[in-house]
Amino acid sequence: MSFRKNFAWGVATASQQIEGAYLDGGKGLNIWDIYSHEPGRIEDGKNSDVACDHYHLFREDVKLMHSLGINSYRFSISWSRIFPDGVGRINEDGVRFYSELIDELLAYGIEPYVTLFHWDYPYALYKKGGWLNDESVEWFSNYAAKIVELYSDRVTHFITFNEPQCFIGLGYLKASHAPGISVPYKDAFQMAHNVLKAHGSAVIAMRKATKRDIKIGYAPTYNAHYPATDSPEDIKAAKKAFFDCPELSKNVLWNVTWWSDPVVLGRYPEDGLKMYHDYLPEITDEDLKLINQPIDFYAQNIYHGHEIRADKSGGYITDEHPEDSPRTSMGWPITPKSLYWGPRFLTERYNLPFYISENGAAMQDELTADGKIHDVGRIDFLSSYLTELERASDEGVDIRGYFLWSFMDNFEWAKGYVPRFGIVYTDYETMQRIPKDSAYWYKHYIEKHSK
């Protein structure tokens, strides 16, 4: 059976990571523009001002995608390119840029998947309190409605948020991402609640604004937990571990259920409600009703996972990956099984059409004397992960698409340009794009699985 017909074979990117042109065409500043200019914030001392200059080179990029057999492209819109101040005045140049990008994609038969928010929060709104301000719910839903009004004549798939775990958890608790501040737990939970309300409110506004039937999804992240063996005890334990909320002191917002249960099931997870009780905002039935809007698909970014085994008392043990186990250049363990168990457990819980909205690997790529990049490690990674995804699909998990992160090497947030996640090599001096061996491998894989 393999993958279903009309499978979305995609690649993914995000505005801040590839567009550059941070002051061009009337764009307003966002928190990453500011943060990446602050000394010491970005590991290689660079910023996202130019990134891959996709703003100017997008036609070339789309043509390359097409030549690699890619049929779907997930990209995000820079909110402050459309609304320089986050609200109010519209920037026509920004509107035109995405319109032309969408037209170009469609001309090449590539389906656009538009993410509304992938971390580049308008600086003007941040100065007004950002996600802590209750008005942020309306700011986001007005922006979302505008995007749908502008592009739903040509775009069918929209995703509200990418990885809220990161833009709140890393941005406002760990302070390792923009805006780089560490707020009290109480404020972080308030922000998280506002983000979830903004999601629900945006879904309502988008359905009102649309010109035709659109599909709306959500793209959180988390490491997929998988069983050490196929015994029912280990499977049960892995599922429990995957859906448990962590203790407050243990990277609290890094979990799946706090962010997804309210959206899909209309309730916060009981364990989290108990553990975080003292720090939670008022959560009303009305809030939950707002958050729990019907969506059309559930997407998740999965890069790796944890191996879990049942212990003797009904609990579980996490098998830590030894330091010398296979890892990507981010130091993330290579765990192909996370692409079988993640989709399976998430579908059992949320029962929605499913997408892998990001998966891929940063590797130590080298441009060799033959002018090529022989990234065998990435090919091994992709091949083993996709085999597991195919297994899930074969067994009936309703998987609709796979978006490889990333189309090209790009600005990897606080790590700058050192990690290379692309299947296309970016030469940052010349802006030349060079498909790596993995790009040709992916092309072949898509062809083989599209018959």
Could you tell me whether strands 316-319 and 305-310 are parallel, antiparallel, or unpaired per DSSP bridges? antiparallel
String marking each residue 3-22 x if it binds ligand IFM according to CB under 6 A = -----------x--x-----
Our CB check for ligand IFM shows the closer of 287 and 358 to be 358
Q: Which of 104, 111, 358, 412 is catalytic?
A: 358
**Which residue, among 272, 264, 270, 253, has the nearest Cα to 288 in the 3D structure?**
264
String marking each residue 285-304 x if it binds ligand IFM according to CB under 6 A = ----------------x---
Minimum Å gap between C-beta 348 and ligand IFM is: 24
Q: Which of 298, 405, 441, 442 binds ligand IFM (CB under 6 A)?
A: 405
CA distance 203 to 210: 11
Helix or strand or coil: residue 360?
Answer: coil
DSSP 406-436: -SB----GGGTTSSB--SEEE-TTT--EEE-
Q: Which two tokens stand for residue 442?
A: 């992916």
CA distance 41 to 50: 17
Minimum Å gap between C-beta 239 and ligand IFM is: 24
Minimum Å gap between C-beta 386 and ligand IFM is: 18
Minimum Å gap between C-beta 404 and ligand IFM is: 11
Question: Would you give the distance in Å from CA 18 to the centre of its chain?
Answer: 14
The answer to whether 358 is a known catalytic residue is yes
Minimum Å gap between C-beta 219 and ligand IFM is: 9
Q: Which of 53, 358, 365, 390 binds ligand IFM (CB under 6 A)?
A: 358
The answer to whether 163 is a known catalytic residue is yes
**Which residue, among 267, 265, 266, 241, has the nearest Cα to 255 in the 3D structure?**
241
String marking each residue 125-164 x if it binds ligand IFM according to CB under 6 A = --------------------------------------x-
CA distance 26 to 81: 7
Q: Which of 111, 163, 388, 390 is catalytic?
A: 163
CA distance 301 to 357: 5
Site residues, ligand IFM (CB under 6 A): 14, 17, 163, 301, 358, 405, 412, 421
**Residues annotated as part of the active site:** 163, 358
